[in-house]
């Protein structure tokens, strides 16, 4: 299956998707991957996300998804959990089936026996507890620090780099979420790998990007069908 990714939101997250998706497919012994990536505007996404302009951002994403369809893609996916704030609006317009990064998370946590997670990511992801998509899993956030954590995450996503001080802020926030009762910390921002990769924080970390990539790899290898993962 030909996978289409809306990338550039931000660049570091897109690189992580590309690296991990190709590695996941290669690990299954596949020699080829049908993949097309288009480049979105992270600054436009940030403005619309902060203002909760869902319809406007869906319309901004639409030409990119149309470009993926024109390239022969069978499905599309957003390389940003922050971008999923307008997922339903985009899906209603999209000429391609869209594979959500949010939809598989609740079942994944439940299947692991994880009842309570701590969230790190954009302001909207933390405030809405993953846009209210969790039914079987309780989500925690550091509500008094959402603005600070969200702004720091935004700075990292735009820059595509994470300073030691920024990484320390995220790692410490994760530790305090665990102290508050989280059984695992979920990286609900696709650029957070810049802070957590190669770290041993002393608590369980689940990268939502990896769960999405595993789903996309199964689709790319035709191990599952679009009917299995799209409404």
- For residue 30, what pLDDT is reported? 85
**Percentage of the chain lying above the pLDDT 90 cut:** 96
Share of the chain above pLDDT 70, in %: 100
pLDDT band at 168 (very low <50, low <70, confident <90, very high): very high
pLDDT for residue 230 is more than 90: no
pLDDT greater than 90 at residue 146:
yes
Q: Domain 105-207, what fold?
A: Rossmann fold (3.40.50)
Q: Rounded to an integer, what distance in angstroms lies between the CA atom of residue 87 and that of residue 198?
A: 31
The pLDDT tens digits for 54-70 are 999 999 999 999 999 99
Q: What is the pLDDT of residue 36?
A: 98
Q: How confident is the model at residue 231 (pLDDT cuts 50, 70, 90)?
A: low
Domain coordinates in residue numbering, the chain: 3-101+210-229, 105-207
Asked if residue 29 has pLDDT above 90, the reply is no
177 near 205, Cβ under 8 Å?
A: no
Q: Max Cα separation, the chain? A: 49
Estimate the share of the chain in helix, then strand, then coil, as percent rounded to the nearest 5. 50, 15, 35
CATH class label, 3-101+210-229: alpha beta
Equal CATH topology for 3-101+210-229 and 105-207: yes
Calculate the average pLDDT of the chain. Answer: 96
Q: Which of 169, 172, 168, 175 is nearest to 203 (CA)?
A: 175
| 99-119 pLDDT, tens digit each | 999 999 999 999 999 999 999
pLDDT, tens only, 170-202: 999 999 999 999 999 999 999 999 999 999 999
Residue 81: closest CA among 6, 2, 142: 6
């Amino acid at each position: 299956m030909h996978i289409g990714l809306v990338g550039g939101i931000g660049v570091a997250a897109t690189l992580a998707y590309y690296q991990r998706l190709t590695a996941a497919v290669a690990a299954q012994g596949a020699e080829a991957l049908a993949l097309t990536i288009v480049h979105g505007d992270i600054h436009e996404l940030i403005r619309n996300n902060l203002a909760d302009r869902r319809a406007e951002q869906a319309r901004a994403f639409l030409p990119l998804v149309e470009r993926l369809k024109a390239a022969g893609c069978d499905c599309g996916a957003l390389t940003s959990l922050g971008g999923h704030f307008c997922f339903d609006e985009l899906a209603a317009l999209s000429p391609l089936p869209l594979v959500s990064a949010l939809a598989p998370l609740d079942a994944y946590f439940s299947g692991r026996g994880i009842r309570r997670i701590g969230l790190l990511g954009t302001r909207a992801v933390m405030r809405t507890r993953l846009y209210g998509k969790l039914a079987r899993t309780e989500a925690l956030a550091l509500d008094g620090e959402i603005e600070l954590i969200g702004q720091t995450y935004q700075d990292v996503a735009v820059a595509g780099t994470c300073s030691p001080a920024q990484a320390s802020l995220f790692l410490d926030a994760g530790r305090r979420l665990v102290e508050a009762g989280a059984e695992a910390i979920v990286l609900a921002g696709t650029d957070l790998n810049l802070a957590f990769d190669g770290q041993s924080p002393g608590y369980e970390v689940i990268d939502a990007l990896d769960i999405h990539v595993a789903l996309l790899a199964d689709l790319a290898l035709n191990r599952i069908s679009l009917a299995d993962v799209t409404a």
